[in-house]
Amino acid sequence: MTQSFGGTDLFDEMMPPRNLWLDAWDRFQRNKMAVVGLAIAILTLFLGIFGPALAPYDYTLIDMRALAQPPSLEHPMGTDEIGRDMLSRILQGARTAVLVAIFVTVINTVMGLVLGTLSAYMGGIVDMVIMRIADILIAFPGLLLAVFVNATMKRPVSLVSEWLYELTGLGFFQNTLVINYLIVLGAISLIGWPGLARLVRGQILSLREREFIKAQVAMGSPRWRIMALHLVPNAIGPLIVAVSASIGGAMVAESSLSYLGLGIQPPGASWGRMIVENMLQWSVYPHLVAMPSLVLAICVFGFNFLGDGLNDALNPRQIRS
């Protein structure tokens, strides 16, 4: 870098090397709400992974002498109607929320990226089939489809896993919690990928017309190489924005399913389930409803503002909003 063009490195001393990511970070940290969102997001992920280990009590432990208590030194967030420590339950719920959010996001991103790229680059019949499936899935109101799939697929999935258990003898397939998670992940992923695949497809279609890709084609690079090394990396900015915005959505979707009594079943803890369980007593013990509600809202809020900040940072050409 320094040796080229005239041999002076004065210019380099004045301007430290910059790249897309440094510029983006500069723009990102100017948005204070986004920085707060980032902090909340990191804290949520941390609590989702280590939270249950930090919990003061076992989240299923029933203390009959402490029913529906307000927050105290002994129970920082109070106890629920049957005397379980609220903080421990919320931390366990964080595990569920984060686990679902991470898995759903990974599945969606991979599916969106792979199917979107294939669709754009192969064109023809492949493109038509993938995009028609996406169109049909988008025609259903998102969460309603997840609810429907979750409600109808419970029996078939448990039958299949029972069959797998008999086939392999692995206790893993008999674990109802695993089956619950599988159904929830499948149902939420089903509604998430079409939007991402469309986004990636659009990005790649416009990139494909650019000179540097045409140059690769002219040089005779194999198709997979152009896709993996040139098209995908350049389409990734908007994808990061869409993905980070969808993490909060995945958390809401998980809570929504358990709010309706689908999703992760007791004794597994989920914020949505905690809200609906305590809803019956909302006017007597408002704090029991308020605790999980506020925690869920703060987490989603954090991820949404993070997504918004990333949008401004990574898509500078778009109008700020």
Partner 1 sequence: MLTYTIKRVLLFIPTIIAVLFITFTLGYLGPGDPIQTQVLRVNPRLADQETIERLREVYGLNRPFLVQWGDWVGKILRGDFGKSFATRTDIGPTIAYRLPISAQLGAAAFVILAIGGIFLGTLAALKQNTWIDHFIVGLALFINSFPIFVLAPLTMIVVVLWLKLLPSTLGWDGIFSAKAILPILLFSVTGWIGPIRLTRNGLIEVLSQDYVRTARAKGLPERLVILRHVVKNGLISTVTSLGLTVSGIVTGSLFLEAAFAIPGYGYMTVQGVTANDYNIIMATTLIGALLVIGSNLITDLLYGVLDPRVRYE
In terms of C-beta distances under 8 Å and separation of at least 24 residues, what long-range contacts does 143-148 make, across chains too?
Answer: 143/191, 143/253, 143/256, 145/187, 145/190, 145/191, 146/187, 146/188, 146/190, 146/191, 146/253, 146/256, 146/257, 147/187, 147/256, 147/257, 147/260, 147/262
Under 8 Å between Cβ of 276 and 259? yes
State both tokens at 264.
């992760």
Task: Please pick, from the candidates 68, 102, 111, 151, the single residue that binds partner 1 as defined by CB under 8 A.
Answer: 151
The tokens describing 56, both together, are 């003061």
Cβ 69 to partner 1 shortest distance, Å: 18
Of how many residues is the chain composed? 321
Q: Minimum CB separation from partner 1 for residue 275, in Å?
A: 6
143 binds partner 1 (CB under 8 A): yes
Query: Taking CB under 8 A as the criterion, which residues in 220-249 touch partner 1?
Result: 248
Q: Which stretch binds partner 1 (CB under 8 A): 16-24, 98-106, 194-202, 272-280?
A: 272-280
User: In angstroms, what is the minimal distance from the CB of 136 to partner 1?
Assistant: 4
Q: DSSP H helical segments within 15-63, as ranges? A: 20-30, 32-54
Please check whether residue 288 is in contact with residue 81, taking contact to mean a CB–CB distance below 8 angstroms: yes
Kindly state whether residue 296 participates in binding partner 1, applying the rule CB under 8 A: yes
Residue selected from 76, 123, 141, 169 as contacting partner 1 according to rule CB under 8 A: 141
Nearer to partner 1, 11 or 282 (CB): 282
Residue 268: left if φ>0, alpha if ψ -120 to 50, beta else—which one? beta
Distance between CA atoms of residues 188 and 107, nearest Å: 10
Binding part of the chain for partner 1, among 68-76, 207-215, 217-225, 280-288 by CB under 8 A, reads 280-288
Q: Alpha-carbon dihedral of residues 150, 151, 153, 159, nearest 10 degrees?
A: 120
Q: How far is the CB of 168 from partner 1 (least distance, A)?
A: 23
User: By CB under 8 A, what part of segment 11-70 binds partner 1?
Assistant: 33
For residues 217 and 283, the answer to whether their CB atoms sit within 8 Å is: no
Which span sits near partner 1 by CB under 8 A: 119-127, 154-162, 166-174, 197-205? Answer: 154-162
Q: Which stretch binds partner 1 (CB under 8 A): 78-86, 114-122, 141-149, 204-212?
A: 141-149
Cβ closer to partner 1: 87 or 187?
187
Binding residues vs partner 1 (CB under 8 A): 33, 132, 135-136, 139-145, 147-149, 151-156, 248, 252, 255-256, 259-262, 272, 275-276, 279, 282-283, 286, 289-290, 293-294, 296-297, 300-301, 304-305, 308, 319-321
